[in-house]
Amino acid sequence: MLRTIPSLGVVADALVRPWTYYRLDTAAMFQTATHSAVLEVIDSITADKGIKGLPESERKPVMREFFR
C-alpha cells in the first residue's frame, strides 16, 4: 500500500527490498547482455549496408546518463 504513494513508495521499497548482491549481479548481467545484443545488431546492419562501424570509443556503454 505504501508503494502506491509517490514519495513514500521509493523509501518503502528501499527498506523492504534492499539491493542485494544477487540483484546487482542480475542487473549487471542484463545490461551486459543487452549491450552486446545491440552492438551485434548495429554491426550486422553496418556490414550489410557497407557503412563504417562504430569506433571503439563509441562502443562503450554510458551508464551515467542512464541513471539520471
Q: Residue 37 domain-assigned?
A: yes
Q: How far is residue 44's CA from residue 32's CA, in Å, rounded to a whole number? A: 18
Q: Residue 65 domain-assigned?
A: no
What separation in angstroms does the CA of 28 have from each of 10, 11, 41, 51, 52?
A: 21, 23, 20, 31, 29
Q: Residue 36 domain-assigned?
A: yes
Domain range enclosing 26:
2-58
Of 4 and 52, the structure prediction assigns the larger pLDDT to: 52
Residue 31 contacts residue 61 (beta carbons within 8 Å): yes
Q: How far is residue 29's CA from residue 63's CA, in Å, rounded to a whole number? A: 14
- Show the cell assigned to 7: 514519495
Q: Residue 15 domain-assigned?
A: yes
Q: Residue 51 domain-assigned?
A: yes
Q: Residue 21 domain-assigned?
A: yes
- For 23-54, the pLDDT digits (tens) are 889 988 998 999 999 999 999 999 888 888 88
Q: Residue 48 domain-assigned?
A: yes
Mean pLDDT of 3-8: 74
Q: How confident is the model at residue 20 (pLDDT cuts 50, 70, 90)?
A: confident
How many distinct structural domains can be found in the chain? 1
